[in-house]
Amino acid sequence: MEKVKDLKWESGMTVNSLVERIGKTGLQGTEMEKAVNAILKMKKAGAKTFLTFTSNMVTSGLRGLFAQLIKLKIADVVITTVGAIEEDIMRAKGESFLISSFYANDLSLHEKGMNRVGNILVPNESYCKLEDELNLILAEVYKKQSKFAVSELLKEIGLLLNDEDSILYQAAKNNVPIFCPAITDGAFGFHLYLFQQKHPDFNVDVIKDFENILFTTSFDEKKGLISLGGGITKHHALLANLLNGGLDYAVYITTAHSSSGSMSGATTQEAKSWGKIKDDSDAATVHGEVTIVFPLIIFRVLDELKKEGLLNG
């Protein structure tokens, strides 16, 4: 067993050094270190890597980081929620979100046409502009064909964007599929419905996309998961990999806890009871807020991969 080591400030300390030292402090710092090592092993083994995240993380400034990770070949498959799709398009089209307060006057914000996500504000005006953009985008992709699996539609949309910090754009450019199993759970879904009323032959097939995600990997291939948050994005990745023999590597970062019995709070250890993660897998569950914890973990991973000449892009 290792001994707990005191963490002390040093002038000019790098992120790499900080995370390494936090890993020797015990508690969640140790789990962070396990997460770093699991992702490093995942990438060095050439594992097919699933990256899952929820829309609130795209509302935040992590959007650009996710796009960068796709560009750097860290993520091979992305699973997210429809809000992430909407807000990625908004930002790609020049919209900005504002930092406010967790304790803002929500009635006043409603009157001003502002929607609060934690301490971030998304203007109603941005949704109005999204509606205009989606009308143009859907009309454009409809010229190609009328039936799409969800991931196929998202790739076509990504090809129409021109923003290096866009998740959809980088995924389309780098041939990384984006899966969104609850595509109708937001404004985007509503506009798909409205478009179908004008074009009855227009169809977005969720079941076909389940087939697509199953065939992104195989039983014999090494498989890894970086799950940020939880819910449907996390479970969709676990289910797809369960049906392909289970994950060899897994990192969960979540603020939820297992005492609720929820998918979001379920640990990597619990997943082994289902066969979602293999018994001998390298796995870690980090309890912490993703916008703080994940950059620390992944920046150290990227530094190590670059140092060893293993970073693509």
Question: Dihedral of the CA atoms 226, 297, 183, 181 (nearest 10)?
Answer: 10
Question: How many Å apart are CA 260 and CA 158, to the nearest integer?
Answer: 37
Of the residues 34, 223, 234, 276, only one is catalytic, namely 276
Inter-residue contact 87 to 67 (CB < 8 Å):
no
Q: CA–CA distance from 186 to each of 8, 42, 193, 252 (Å)?
A: 46, 33, 11, 25
Report the candidate in 67, 258, 52, 17 with the shortest Cα–Cα distance to residue 170: 67
User: For residue 151, which of 183, 127, 190, 116 has the smallest C-alpha distance?
Assistant: 183
- Asked if 143 is an active-site residue, the reply is no
- How far is 84 from 59, CA to CA, in rounded Å? 7
- Separation between Cα atoms, residue 150 and residue 208, nearest integer Å: 8
Looking at beta carbons, which pairs linking 29-33 to residues 24 or more positions away fall under 8 Å? 31/284, 31/285, 31/286, 31/287, 32/286, 32/288, 32/293, 32/296, 32/297
Residues assigned a catalytic role: 276
